[in-house]
Amino acid sequence: MDTGQNTGQGMGLDGVVAAVTNLSQVDGKAGRLIVRGRDIEDLAGSYDFADMAVLLWDGLVPDLPNADVVRRSLGQARLQAAETLPLLLPAAQGLSPIEGLRAGLALFNDQDCDHLLLCAAVPVFAAALWRQSHGSRPIAPNPNSGQAEDFLAMLNDGTVDGAAARALETYLVTVADHGLNASTFTARVVASTKAGIVSSVVAALCALKGPLHGGAPGPVLDMLDEIGDPSGVAPWLDAQFAAGERLMGFGHRVYRTRDPRADVLKGVVSDLRGNLCRGPNRIELAERVEKEVLRRLAERYPDRGLDTNVEFYTALALEAIGLPRELFTLAFAMGRVLGWTAHIFEQEQTGRIIRPASRYTGPIPEGRKLSAIAG
| Residue 313 found at the interface with ligand ACO (CB under 6 A) | no
Pick the binder of ligand ACO from 308, 309, 341, 347 (CB under 6 A).
Answer: 309
Q: Pick the closer one to ligand ACO by CB: 291 or 304.
A: 304
Indicate the helix (H) or strand (E) that contains 200. Answer: helix 197-208
Smaller CB distance to ligand ACO: residue 178 or 282? 178
Min dist CB 351 to ligand ACO, Å, is 29
- Greatest alpha-carbon pair distance for the chain in Å reads 73
The b/e string for 345-355 (b: 16+ C-beta within 10 A; e otherwise) is bbbbeeeeebe
Span between the terminal Cα atoms of the chain, in Å: 15
Q: Measured from the CB atom, is 124 or 306 closer to ligand ACO? A: 306
Q: For ligand ACO, which residue of 75, 141, 251, 322 counts as binding (CB under 6 A)?
A: 251
Task: Based on the shown chain and the rule CB under 6 A, indicate whether residue 295 belongs to the binding site for ligand ACO.
Answer: no
**HSE (side-chain half, CA atoms, 13 Å) at 81:** 33
Total residues in contact with ligand ACO, by rule CB under 6 A: 20
Closer by beta carbon to ligand ACO, 146 or else 214? 214
Chain centroid, CA 242 distance in Å: 30
299 tagged catalytic: no
CB of 244 to ligand ACO, least distance (A): 8
Q: What percent of the chain is helix, strand and coil (3-state, nearest 5)?
A: 55, 5, 40
- Determine, following the binding rule CB under 6 A, whether residue 296 of this chain makes contact with ligand ACO: no
Is residue 288 a contact point for ligand ACO (CB under 6 A)?
Answer: no
Cβ(202)–Cβ(40) below 8 Å: no
Q: Is 252 a catalytic residue?
A: yes
Question: Is 213 a binder of ligand ACO (CB under 6 A)?
Answer: yes
3-state secondary structure at position 38: strand
Among 306, 318, 321, 338, binds ligand ACO (CB under 6 A): 306
User: 147 CB contacts (<8 Å, ≥6 apart)?
Assistant: 48, 49, 50, 74, 119, 120, 123, 169, 172, 334
Kindly list the catalytic residues. 252, 311
Site of interaction with ligand ACO (CB under 6 A): 12, 181, 212-214, 216, 246-253, 301, 304, 306, 309-311
